[in-house]
Amino acid sequence: MSKITVVVPCFNEEDALLIYYWEMEKIMDQMADTEFELLFVDDGSSDNTLEIMKKLNEKDSRCQYLSFSRNFGKEAAIYAGLSNAQGDYVAVMDVDLQDPPELLPGMYRILQEEDYDSVATKRSDRKGEPKIRSFLSEEFYKFINKISGTEIVNGARDYRLMKRNMVDAVLEMSEYNRFSKGIFEWVGFRTKWLEFENVERCAGETKWSVGKLFRYSLEGITGFSVAPLSLASVVGVVFCLLSFLMILFIIVRTAIWGDPVSGWPSLVCIIFMVSGIQLFCTGIVGQYLSKTYLETKHRPIFILRESSEERKRDETGKGNK
Ligand code: UDP
Ligand code: MG
């Protein structure tokens, strides 16, 4: 019998966790011929999320949990889940039911019957999302796909079911600055895309502020494109050509009309503009440098505080004494 591990990152999700479990219970009953492991990852929650996970683990041995020492972010939670998953198939799913569990049986069937290594999902619309957020997201996808060789699918969710070989490939990419949407594409393999209509959160609130999304998009750009680094050289060449034309123009003009001193304001404007562009380009280099700096430190992607595995070991240890 094959086993599916469902990795569920949770950050302050006490309101959504049980609702999610009830929904998943139905799906697991429906797929009775498959073994399941629900691997909840508590990403340093400050509410009762971990307590609920522990209760679920006592009640249902299919529910396992990992708990971080602090909030490391969803990307770290996904990585931790994938590295601890026991299944032959591994799914990544949000706990707020925005990734419909009803799709899972169909996804599993596709992997068994068709020649694919992974089934991924994307939203066909962004209904219910603030207009400004949708607009910024759309622009981000347009931009990153222009400058990156790795396709970042617009509207793609992290919700997907993968075969073991793909999971192992994703785990090989142990970079510190993680951008899953890019990583899943980068490793290749054959992926089938399913579309579904956007669903609103079942409970609780989104953990993504505009600022957090902005930093996440920078992660995507620096992680999967080096095009911005060549911006300085391109702008440099353009400015050299321009200045050459301007020198010619000024020589000719002075030869014909003489040299009345004027043009202070325009000079100041040009200095401002050029130094602005220089700082901007230095900033881009700085972005990449800071990512490289963090990468070379080889810090762990996440730190565990406790887990169901450890708890079981402790309990059996005590029982033996
Ligand atoms: N999440 C997490 N760590 C974080 C932020 C979010 O593990 O620092 C989890 C969260 O609990 C949820 C999923 O990632 O299961 C998606 O988060 P959310 O629903 O807030 O994002 P949105 O759906 O609004 O993009
Ligand atoms: Mg959500």
Full DSSP string of 5-61: EEEEEESS-HHHHHHHHHHHHHHHHHTTTSEEEEEEEE-S-SSTHHHHHHHHHHH-T
Strand order in the sheet with 191-196: 191-196, 118-123, 156-163, 89-92, 3-10, 35-42, 63-68, 304-307
Nearest CA to ligand 1 atom 21: 206
The pTM (predicted TM-score) of the whole model is 0.84
User: What is the percent of the chain where pLDDT is above 70?
Assistant: 99
Q: Which ligand is nearest to the CA of 215?
A: 1
Question: What is the structure's pLDDT at 301?
Answer: 94
Ligand 1 atom closest to Cα of residue 201: 19
Between residues 232 and 60, the one the model is more confident about = 60
- Please tell me the total number of residues recorded for the chain in this structure: 321
Q: Which ligand is nearest to the CA of 79?
A: 1
Query: pLDDT tens-digit profile of 129-188?
Result: 788 888 888 888 999 899 888 888 888 899 999 999 999 999 999 889 889 889 999 999
Full DSSP string of 71-127: ---HHHHHHHHHHH---SEEEE--TTSSS-TTHHHHHHHHHHHSS-SEEEEEES--T
Mean of pLDDT values over 108-122: 93
User: What pairing do the DSSP bridges indicate for beta strands 35-42 and 63-68?
Assistant: parallel
Ligand 1 atom closest to Cα of residue 73: 8
Distance 70 CA to ligand 1 centre (A): 15
Ligand 1 atom closest to Cα of residue 13: 11
Between residues 315 and 93, the one the model is more confident about = 93
Question: What is the structure's pLDDT at 189?
Answer: 92
Alpha carbon distance 97, 19 (integer Å): 8
Query: pLDDT tens-digit profile of 257-313?
Result: 887 777 777 888 888 888 888 898 899 999 999 999 989 998 999 999 999 888 888
Question: What is the structure's pLDDT at 319?
Answer: 66
Q: Identify the residues whose C-beta falls under 6 Å from ligand 1.
A: 9-11, 13, 43, 71, 73-74, 77, 94-96, 98, 206-208
For the chain, give the mean pLDDT.
89
Q: Which ligand is nearest to the CA of 10?
A: 1
